[in-house]
Amino acid sequence: MSRKDEELNNEAHEEQTDASREEQARQNRQASAEQSTSRDSGSADPYGNRRDDRIYGSTEMSTHMKSDMPPGAGDHGGLDYKTLPKSTPGWKVIVQELIADKLALFSLIIFVSITAYVFGLTMFLDQAQIVFVDLFAINQPPDEEFRLGTDYGGRDIFGQLIIGTRNSLAIGFLVTLMSVGFGIIYGLVSGYFGGQLDNALMRVVDFFLVLPFLMIVIVFVTIVPSYDIWTFSAIMAAFLWMGTARLIRSLALQEKELDYINASKTLGSSPVKIIFSQLMPNLVGIIIVNGTLSLAANIGIESGLSFLGFGFPEDYPSLGTLLAYATQTQTLQNRWWIWLPAALMILILMLCVRNIGEALRRAGDARQRQS
Amino acid sequence: MIKFTLRRLLITFPQLVLLSILVFFLGSLMPGDALSGMIDPSIPAEAIQARREALGLDNPWYIQYRDWVVAMFQGDFGNSIFHQRPVLDVIGDRLLNTIWLSLFSVFIIYLIGLPLGLISGRYKDSLLDSAITGYTYLGFATPTFVFGLVLLWIFGYHFGVFPTNGSVAAGLEPGSLDYILSKINHLILPSFSIALIGLVGTVQYLRSGVIEAQQKDYVMLARAKGVKSTALYVKHIFRNAIIPIAAFFGYELVGLLGGSIFIEWVYAYPGMGALFLESISTRDFSVANVLILFYGFLTILGALLSDIILSIVDPRIRIK
């Protein structure tokens, strides 16, 4: 092991022992691990504040404990943190958790294979040929030539399903990236600076929360002059960032009271540096969980909008476009092959992503770990 | 209590103003204005110009905004270009249908959701609990419209037990028993589609609430005093676990009013959500605009209602 490696290892070690102390504090605070298992998994909370109490408790405890220890206590006998048993590094916990959670592992495998398959295959599929109207092959049930039959324009459903899945996934990622990204910055700024700015920024969030999301998005989609993937994603993201912003803000409010932030301030670091290279990395676990769960939701919202006819145009199919065919009575009643695969695909994707997100959430919370 | 409500109302006011400004600007961004539907080539351009001036369409935006708000307070929401009738009448036709759908759905949500949550929390880790938790997991991942389509396919078309569209069978006398029965019959599939997916949040909250309450000291005390298990759950645990759910009642009801867009579309149910989609696709933006305002208003009202309910059931919140 080189010297650099050793240093890195020591650093990681130090962090982890701190973390394990926090863990203990957490566990002491709350007698039962069970009670929050289910509480945390509720995601219908419109406030998005549900982690507050726990995080608040833990940080309070840990700062308290740290300040009790004189600097360099580890070198002078007493509590020598270097001899404490090593705890597992963060990424390993996540891997362990995913493996221990069979359902999540299974979901991950399925999700990765679907994504790889769909993105791989679309490189070879000719999109123009798939959306090519062939009037001699209208509404055909599945056979050898068309694995999932054809729609009212004689277009191959299987090809549309593959492209639709890719488009839905891509837009899901894009919207998540935009909305979560903006939400993070907004929440960090609001939480870090606090005071009047925080107050004002949060009133803006409150206002966005009372807007009728679906209707506003539909209206924007209709009146926006140049309409493509980017504007569509931006419109969606513009009304989906509030949950992340609230969550990150509440965590940043607590995190900024910790010693390392104060130390950095004293040393004269700029707020930008503190926020993005010191505060944000400490919230990365929660950001990942939040992003994963948003991804699941966004895939659903996008396909919903396309289903209503306010998503992608027909020559750029998404899963919702295929489902929209089912609004015709004949299709819904007699031609299951057109819409049912897309319905199942949405279900599978959302279920998988949610399972992964929940497992990651448990990995980030020592009390809920399964391994 | 009154002080809290007043203070809460104070927050509501700026939200309403902001909402109305947003809707006003959306309206001015949308193509067409109050005259669009009435103009035909036989009218001379000067007459149109005179009319525009009379209606104040050339005024600066803040005067137009003021006129718009004043008109609304006088009950004038403009005319529907497509229907050639006042917007309020057009919406009025659909309002009742949506209210019925929402009330029916909320009723089912609580009728099924509350027992499921209670059972799941009380018999934690049992087979029954696992089944219910599994169901909530699935429910969270299922978009309402997908579920609605599948229900419609299975029960509407495959088995043919329920009507597949509309809100009432044709040719029935309004007010007669048959009419009411037909209405209910038309409501069953849409409202179950909404409720069976919508209740998962309630179930999860109640479940964790019950599990949490079980370990509280006052429950231990009641148990030690020899309170019977059923009474313990009904009188002590349930009443505490229900608090968050009671608090979300406002959101739930209002959320359903707005969230029924998908289901109304799937079932061709003539409610306000379907009206919104129709008015967008017919470019009847005056109706769409009022609907957005209306839904936004409802959401603000729902948040207000929820906070007030919360302050009633949980006095601790009032201290803030």
Residue A244 has a pLDDT of: 92
Q: How far is B268 from chain A (nearest CA, A)?
A: 9
> Does B319 map to a domain?
no
Residue A182 has a pLDDT of: 95
Contact A215 B124 (CB under 8 A): no
Residue A107 has pLDDT above 80, yes or no: yes
Helix axes A284-308, A157-193, angle to 10 degrees: 130
Sorting pLDDT into bands at 50, 70 and 90, what band is A26? very low
Residue B34 has a pLDDT of: 58
Sorting pLDDT into bands at 50, 70 and 90, what band is A190? very high
> Does B10 map to a domain?
no
More confidently predicted of A230 and A10 = A230
Residue A295 has a pLDDT of: 92
Contact B124 A332 (CB under 8 A): no
Measured between beta carbons, the chain A residues lying within 8 angstroms of B14 are 203
Which pair of tokens denotes residue B111?
A: 């009728």
Contact B146 A327 (CB under 8 A): no
Q: What is the pLDDT of residues B148-186, one digit of tens each?
A: 888 888 888 888 777 777 777 776 777 777 888 888 888
Per-residue burial over A252-289, b if 16 or more Cβ lie within 10 Å, else e, is: bbbbbebeebeebeeeeeeeeebbeebbbeebebbbbb
Average pLDDT along chain B: 81
Contact A219 B288 (CB under 8 A): yes
Sorting pLDDT into bands at 50, 70 and 90, what band is B253? confident
Q: What is the pLDDT of residues A67-97, one digit of tens each?
A: 444 444 444 445 555 666 666 666 677 777 7
Residue A133 has a pLDDT of: 65
Contact B295 A212 (CB under 8 A): yes
Q: How far is A258 from chain B (nearest CA, A)?
A: 26
Sorting pLDDT into bands at 50, 70 and 90, what band is A57? very low
Contact A346 B261 (CB under 8 A): no
What value does the mean pLDDT take over residues A211-225?
Answer: 85
Measured between beta carbons, the chain A residues lying within 8 angstroms of B208 are 35-39, 41-42
Q: Which residues contact A129 (CB under 8 A, 6 or more apart)?
A: A159
Q: What is the pLDDT of residues B42-70, one digit of tens each?
A: 777 777 777 767 666 667 777 778 887 88
Give CB contacts under 8 A, 24+ apart, made by A152-160: A152/A325, A152/A328, A152/A331, A155/A130, A155/A131, A156/A130, A157/A322, A157/A337, A157/A338, A157/A341, A159/A125, A159/A129, A159/A130, A160/A130, A160/A131, A160/A317, A160/A321, A160/A322
- Of A244-253, B11-20, B254-263, B282-291, the least confident: B254-263
Residue A125 has pLDDT above 60, yes or no: yes
State the pTM of this model: 0.76
Residue B315 has a pLDDT of: 66
For the four alpha carbons of B256, B257, B259 and B262, in that order, the dihedral sign comes to positive
Sorting pLDDT into bands at 50, 70 and 90, what band is A112? very high
Strands B85-86 and B79-80: antiparallel
Sorting pLDDT into bands at 50, 70 and 90, what band is A44? very low
Separation between Cα atoms, residue A292 and residue B180, nearest integer Å? 46
Q: How far is B296 from chain A (nearest CA, A)?
A: 5
Residue A12 has a pLDDT of: 41
Q: How far is B190 from chain A (nearest CA, A)?
A: 14
Average pLDDT along chain A: 74
In chain B, the number of structural domains is 1
Sorting pLDDT into bands at 50, 70 and 90, what band is A310? confident
> What whole-number percentage of chain A has pLDDT above 70?
64
What value does the mean pLDDT take over residues A297-318?
Answer: 83
Sorting pLDDT into bands at 50, 70 and 90, what band is A288? confident
Contact B208 A38 (CB under 8 A): yes
Q: How far is A193 from chain B (nearest CA, A)?
A: 23
Residue B244 lies in domain: 87-313
Contact B19 A296 (CB under 8 A): no
Our measurement of the distance from residue B290's CA atom to the centroid of its chain's CA atoms, rounded to an integer in Å, reads 16
Sorting pLDDT into bands at 50, 70 and 90, what band is A15? very low
Residue A10 has a pLDDT of: 43
> According to the per-residue pLDDT averaged within each range, which of A111-115, B179-183, B297-301, B305-309 is highest?
A111-115
> Does B254 map to a domain?
yes
What value does the mean pLDDT take over residues B309-315?
Answer: 74
Measured between beta carbons, the chain B residues lying within 8 angstroms of A101 are none
Residue A63 has a pLDDT of: 40
Question: Which of A209, A216, A355 is closest, CB to CB, to B292?
Answer: A216
DSSP string, A179-230: HHHHHHHHHHHHHHH-HHHHHHHHHHHHHHHTS-HHHHHHHHHHH-SS-SHH
> What whole-number percentage of chain B has pLDDT above 70?
90
Sorting pLDDT into bands at 50, 70 and 90, what band is B124? confident
What value does the mean pLDDT take over residues A43-60?
Answer: 39
Residue B106 has pLDDT above 80, yes or no: yes
Residue B256 has pLDDT above 90, yes or no: no
What value does the mean pLDDT take over residues B220-242?
Answer: 84
What value does the mean pLDDT take over residues B90-100?
Answer: 85
Residue A135 has a pLDDT of: 62
Asked if CATH classification 1.10.3720.10 holds for the domain at A90-369, the reply, yes or no, is yes
Q: What is the CATH number of the domain that holds B246?
A: 1.10.3720.10
